Structure 1
Amino acid sequence: MGLSGASSRVFRKLMNGANYSSISVSNEMNLIKQLRERTSAPIKDVKAALVDSNWDIEAAQKELRKRGIILASKKSSRTASEGLLALAQNHNKTALIELNCETDFVARNDIFQHLALCLANQALLLDNSSSFHFGPQCLEDMRLNLQHPKINGETSVQNAITQVAAMMGENVRLRRGYVMPAPSHGLVSTYLHTSPKPGLGRIAGILSLEVDGVKTHVDALQRVGSELAMHVVATKPLFLTKELVPSDALENEREVLKSQAEASGKSQMAIDKMVEGRLRKYFEDVVLMNQKFVMNDTMNVKVVLENLSKEVGSSVRVVSFLRMEVGEGIARQETDASESVAQVA
């Protein structure tokens, strides 16, 4: 019995488009599910790899890795301004790294977050006696084992990043890091803002407090240290003290303020007073010790430390601080608002 014209076309389409295997549909679905769980790759890619590998799951997994690494290398030039900061601490130091991706969706992925935390712990292995910034090259050749259900085995940091990029389908890159040693008498306090889980966040504040003599009243130090780390995140200080403001930056600010004051047409004496008053405001904006305390704006940070020193019975000072935010300084590829309106219209 012959096929009708319509039935014949359907039959030819099925014959041309189908990929026949010797296993049942239920087994195929089970293999797709298993490979998807192993790799987190899109279902379309998982099925294609299994079909090309004649439903051999091990061969399909290798094929996916090959395809993913090739795609990851092609995507490495794309802007990656999203991501997370990851923080790790031990008794000797605190390490912070920034791991970037292209979208917030990937930043919320468990594998991406696990990699970020592993890299922060890896940074603790760097040898240092003082605070320092470091680039990705400091970690790239180090060995690590991610020990994650979907990606494990010892490899280099660079290879681990490439594997995760392949799994995520986005450009993933380690951008920078910072290591701060703990003072011999004192502690390092930290604060992470917009934190999806412990050790991760989008903005970080790190602050080193040193105590003269033996460290006592640890609870008080930890309490105020945590508040000051939060203060650093909220107020964005640029310098620790007035003395550390570069002379050229101060002169530039003075020139701008003087030009603004002269436009008022007032006397030179009045202009000088205006400039000095505005310089004080400038210091309150950018110098940590001069800033109004975010938890109590009736005092500045200098007074907070003086009060803490009285409480613990020893002089307490800030040795150093750092504020870091995901994506700062990276040119973001954002659609202009007017273009968005035009597209909707």
Structure 2
Amino acid sequence: ALVDERGAALVEVNVETDFVANNSVFRAFVTGLLSDLLDHKLSDVEALARVMSSQEPSLSVEELKAVTMQTVGENIRISRALYTPVSSGQSVGIYSHGNGKAVAMVFLSGSENQEALAKDIAMHIVASQPQFLSKDSVPQEVLEREREVFSSQVAGKLQEVVEKITQGKFKAFFQEACLLEQAFIKDPEVTIQGLIDRAAKA
């Protein structure tokens, strides 16, 4: 992942071994892909393959990929690509873990100079792997499925007891599955929403 004045880019490139993933030739190829995404504002792998490489201007990205595969001795697959512009009033944070095996990119709107907060939230996402942004973004079918699971766990109890237990289980589910409800990994006393609210007041 890379962010600069051109925007933000994220690319997923798969190889067969960690040895190649750590290889300087492969790493340079990936860095070049990010620059190409930013230069051409692309979010399409096939379109990316056709552009001329910024790393080796006489070759297309596809041709450079073939050369890189010969050099490192492994198959390389460009799986996903994303470009997004960054507007004024947005802060972007990137966190990469395990030499790029897990990457998160966070955009915060409404205030500038919040890159450190955005990076902290990106790190939290990589570590905690939330499924949803907020309670409101959980699909209805997921809520129904969870309700069925909770109901089966408390079958035979009084209705008032069932309601209380179900509410408690939903609260725990949201705290585990929804980013904004999760306890911040660096300070479990505050949720991600609380962290954002605190930064907005500062």
Asked if these proteins are the same fold (TM beyond 0.5), I'd say yes
Q: Does the aligned pair in 2 maintain the 1:165–1:171 contact within 8 Å?
A: yes
Structure 1 equivalent of residue 106 of structure 2? 207
Deviation at 1:153, TM superposition (A): 5.3
Could you tell me whether the CA contact under 8 Å between 1:183 and 1:209 is conserved in 2? no
1:178/1:153 Cα in 2 relative to 1: closer, same or farther (>3 Å)? Answer: closer
Q: Which position in structure 1 is the counterpart of 2:71?
A: 167
- Cα separation, 1, equivalents of 2:6 and 2:50: 23
Change over 3 Å in CA distance of 1:167–1:252 after alignment to 2 = same
Gaps of 5+ in 2: none
Partner Cα separation in structure 1 for residue 27 and residue 154 of structure 2: 51
Gaps of 5+ in 1: 1-86, 129-133, 147-151, 196-200, 312-345
- TM-score normalized by structure 2? 0.92
Identity of counterpart residues, as a percentage? Answer: 29
Letter in structure 1 aligned against 2:81: G
Number of residue pairs aligned between Structure 1 and Structure 2: 202
Q: Does 1:140 align with 2:49?
A: yes
1:89 and 2:3 aligned: yes
Q: Could you tell me how far apart the structure 1 residues matched to 2:168 and 2:48 are? A: 47
1:224 aligns with 2:128: no
The residue type paired with residue 125 of structure 2 is V
Separation in 1, partners of 2:178, 2:171: 10
- Judge conservation of contact 1:145–1:154 (CA < 8 Å) in 2: no
**What are the residue-to-residue correspondences of 1:1-345 with 2, within 5 Å?**
87-127=1-41, 134-146=43-55, 152=56, 154-195=58-99, 201-211=100-110, 215=112, 218=113, 221-262=114-155, 265-311=156-202
Q: Do the aligned partners of 1:183 and 1:208 also contact (CA within 8 Å) in 2?
A: no
Partner secondary structure for residue 160 of structure 2: helix
Between the aligned partners of 2:115 and 2:3, the Cα distance in structure 1 is: 14
Cα drift, residue 234 of structure 1: 1.0
**1:135/1:175 contact within 8 Å kept:** no
Residues 191 and 269 (structure 1 numbering): CA distance in 2 closer, same or farther, change over 3 Å? same
Provide the alpha-carbon RMSD of the alignment.
1.8
Question: Cα deviation per residue 1:14-72 (whole Å; 9 max; x = unaligned)?
Answer: xxxxxxxxxxxxxxxxxxxxxxxxxxxxxxxxxxxxxxxxxxxxxxxxxxxxxxxxxxx
Q: Give the number of the structure whose alpha-carbon radius of gyration is greater.
A: 1
* TM-score, structure 1 as length reference: 0.55
Distance 1:231 1:206 in 2: 11
Cα distance, 1:190 vs structure 2? 0.9
